[in-house]
Amino acid sequence: MRLTRAALTVAATALAPALLLTGPAFAAGPGTAPATVQAAPSDGAGTAVSELSDDDLRIAILRILADEDSGKRVIREANELLDNGTPEEMRQWLETGYRLAQAEDDQVALFRILADPDSGKRVIREVNELLDNGTPEDVRQWLETGYRLAQAEDDRVALFRILARPGISDALRAAVQEVIDGTPEEIRYFLEYGQYEVDA
Higher confidence at residue 13 or residue 181? 181
- In sequence order, what are the beta bridge partners of 47? 37
Nearest to 149 by CA among 112, 113, 185: 185
Quote the DSSP letter at residue 17.
T
**pLDDT tens for residues 10-54?**
433 433 333 333 333 333 333 333 343 332 222 223 568 888 999
pLDDT band at 99 (very low <50, low <70, confident <90, very high): very high
Q: What is the pTM of this model?
A: 0.68
CA distances from 6 to 56, 58, 59, 91, 119 (A): 14, 12, 11, 21, 40
Higher pLDDT, residue 152 or 1: 152
Please report, for the chain, the start and end positions of each structural domain, with discontinuous segments joined by +. 1-107, 116-200
- With b for 16 or more beta-carbon neighbours within 10 A and e for fewer, the 115-152 pattern comes to eeeebbebbeebbeebeeebebbebbbbbeebbeebbb
Q: Pick from 29, 45, 37: which is nearest to 62 by CA?
A: 37
Q: Is 112 exposed, middle or buried (0-12, 13-18, 19+ CB in 10 A)?
A: exposed
- Strand order across the beta sheet in which 46-48 lies: 20-21, 36-38, 46-48
Residue 76 amino acid letter: R
Q: How far is residue 11's CA from residue 26's CA, in Å, rounded to a whole number?
A: 22
Packing angle between helix 170-179 and helix 147-163, nearest 10 degrees?
A: 150
In degrees rounded to 5, what are phi and psi of residue 47?
Answer: -110, 125
Length of the chain: 200
